[in-house]
Amino acid sequence: MLLPFCDPGELIQHPVPPFGHTDELVVLTRNSPSTRYIGPDGDYVGFEQDLVELFAKDVGMKVRMVERSRLSDILPALEQHAAHLAAAGLGVTRERESEVRFGPAYLTVQKAVAYNTDMRRPRALADLAGKRVAVLAGSSNAEKLRHEARGAPDLTWGEVHAAGIDPLLDQVADGALDYVIADSTVLELTRNFYPNVGIAFSFGAPESIAWALPKDAPPELADKVNDFFRRITADGTLRILVDRYFGHVKRLDQGDIVAFLTQRQTVLPQYVAAFKQAQELTGIDWRLIAALGFQESHWNPLATSPTGVRGLMMLTEITADRLGVGNRLDAWPNILAGARYLEMLKDALPDRIREPDRTWLALAAYNVGYGHLEDARILAQRKGLNPNSWLDLRKTLPLLTRSDYYGTVKRGFARGAEAVILTENVRNYYDILQRYEGPYRPLFATVTADASQP
C-alpha cells in the first residue's frame, strides 16, 4: 500500500518550557471533524478546541494549538516535550499507557468497520479475512485488531499514514479498499459525506478517549487537568459540548445523504445567489439557510404541504403576508422571507441564550412555532432542565404530543418531535455544506450587530 509523502522536518521536535514556567499552554492536536477545524466564521472550533480553550481559561494561560498533519506523529512529539499535553481524540490503550500518562476519560467510543454499501455487508471480523483492510497509522485501531482478531488468524491489515480518516474512506467509496477500521464516533461524523459508505458493525469493549500528558508531566498539570474534567462533568459543561459536536450525527439515513449530495450538484446552483443575498440581509450563513431549505422542500420552489405551507422555504400564508411575499411559489422572495423569519425567531429569543443553542432553538421554532417552543421551555423548567439549552429542549419538545403535558401549557398540542427531527437534520445538512461549499464574504455588510452565526 502506498504511503503519503512524509516531511522529515515535521518530526523534528523542540521542547517547550515546563508547565508552571511559562504563561503559554502548548497543545498538540490535529485537524479533523472530531477535534479541531475552521468554522463558518473563519475561527477554529471543534470539540477538542473548545475543551482546551476552557482549560486554558481555568488555569489562566494563553493557549497555542500545534497541529500535526498525521495522527502517528502526535504521541512521539509529546514524548519529546514538544507540548504540555495532547488533545487529539486519543484512545486509552495498554500500549499507549506505557508511553504517556492519560487524564480522565471524557468520551467513550467503540471500534467499527466501515464498508462499501454496494457490496455485501460483513457481520464479524472473520468476514474481513482475505480482504483489503486498513487502519489509520498512529490510531489505536491496530492494537485493538491485534487483540480482537485472535479468532480470525487470516485477517491482515495495512496501517496508512494520512492526515485523517477521509483518504481511507475515499478508497472504500471508490472500491480501492474493502474495509476501514475506525472509531464509531469518527465514522458517524464522516459518513454523511460518503453516500455509499456505511458502518457494518462495532466490535470489542468500549474505549475511553482522554488527553495525553508526558510520563514525567509535573504533578501540578495532572492535578489541574483532573480538577478541570471533574468540574465540567459535574456542572454539565462536558455534556453540552458532547451534544454540540456529536449529538446530531445519527439522524440521516443513506437515502437522505444520497438525495442531498445529488441535489447539491444539480439543484442548489440555481439558488446559491438567493441564499447568499439572504445572508447579506440577515447575517445568517447562507449554507445554514440552504440546509433549512433542503429540509423543508428539497429545494423545490413549488412544494406545497397538506396544511397549506408553500414554496422552497415552506412559508405559511400568515408569515408570507407578514414579510410581504405575494407569491410563495417564487423561489427568490420565498428564500429571502424564510431567512428573515428565521432571523426574527432568533431575535425573539432571550438574550441569555447563546450560540449555537440560539440557532438550534430558532430552527425548532421555525417548524413548531415560537409559542410552542416557549411551552417546551416551560416544561424544561418544570423538570429542572435548562430552558436555554438545545440538549434539554430536545427532550421536552416531544412531550407536547402527550395530553398529560400539553394540557398543562398555554398553547396545547404540537408536533414537537418533528421540530427535533428538522433541527437535527438541518445540522447534518449544514455540516455537509460547510465541507463542500465555501463561506460567503459580502463586500458590504448590511447585517445588524446581533445577527450572529451559529
- Is 85 within 8 Å of 28 (Cβ atoms)? yes
Helix (H, G, I), strand (E, B) or coil at 41: coil
Distant-in-sequence contacts of 266-272, Cβ < 8 A, 24+ apart? 267/298, 267/299, 268/299, 270/299, 270/331, 271/299, 271/312, 271/331, 271/335
Instruction: Write down the pTM of the prediction.
Output: 0.75
Bridge partners of 28, per DSSP, are 66, 86
Q: State CA 91 to chain mean position distance.
A: 19
Residue of 188, 296, 343, 424 marked catalytic: 296
**Per-residue cell: 225:** 487537568
Q: Which residues contact 274 (CB under 8 A, 6 or more apart)?
A: 331, 332, 335, 336
Count of residues in the chain: 454
Side chain identity, residue 324:
G
What are the b/e assignments for 5-35, b being 16+ CB within 10 Å? eeeeeeeeeeebeebeeeeebbbbbbbbbbb
In the chain, which residues have pLDDT < 70?
1-13, 40-42, 250, 444-454
What is the CB neighbour count within 10 angstroms for residue 1?
12
Query: What's the rounded Cα separation, in Å, for the pair 439 and 287?
Result: 8
Given this structure, which CATH class describes domain 254-436?
A: mainly alpha
Q: Which overall architecture, per CATH, does domain 108-206 show? A: 3-Layer(aba) Sandwich (3.40)
The proportion of the chain whose per-residue pLDDT surpasses 70, expressed as a percent, equals 94
Question: What's the pLDDT at 419?
Answer: 92
Query: What's the rounded Cα separation, in Å, for the pair 382 and 204?
Result: 40
Within this chain, domains 108-206 and 254-436 share the same CATH topology: no
Query: What's the rounded Cα separation, in Å, for the pair 216 and 211?
Result: 15
172 to 45, 194, 241, 292: CA distances (angstroms): 28, 9, 30, 30
What's the first-to-final CA gap in the chain, in angstroms? 41
Phi, psi of 267 (to 5 degrees): -110, -45
Question: What's the pLDDT at 326?
Answer: 92
Q: For helices 272-282 and 286-297, what crossing angle results, to 10°?
A: 120
Sign of CA dihedral 152, 157, 163, 169: negative
Short-list 286, 346, 393, CA closest to 41: 286
Question: What's the pLDDT at 13?
Answer: 62
Side chain identity, residue 289:
I
Parse the chain into domains and list their residue ranges: 8-103+209-246, 108-206, 254-436
Q: Which residues contact 129 (CB under 8 A, 6 or more apart)?
A: 152, 154, 155, 156
Cis peptide before 356 (omega within 30 of 0): yes
- Is 116 within 8 Å of 196 (Cβ atoms)? yes
Given this structure, which CATH class describes domain 8-103+209-246?
A: alpha beta
Question: What's the pLDDT at 153?
Answer: 80
Q: Which residues contact 53 (CB under 8 A, 6 or more apart)?
A: 63
Phi-psi region of 257 (alpha: psi -120 to 50; beta: other; left: phi over 0): alpha
Tell me, yes or no, if 48 is annotated catalytic.
Answer: no
35 to 57, 289, 294, 308, 321: CA distances (angstroms): 19, 25, 28, 43, 44
In this predicted model, what pLDDT tens digit does every residue of 121-174 receive, in sequence order? 999 999 999 999 999 988 888 888 888 877 778 899 999 988 788 889 999 999
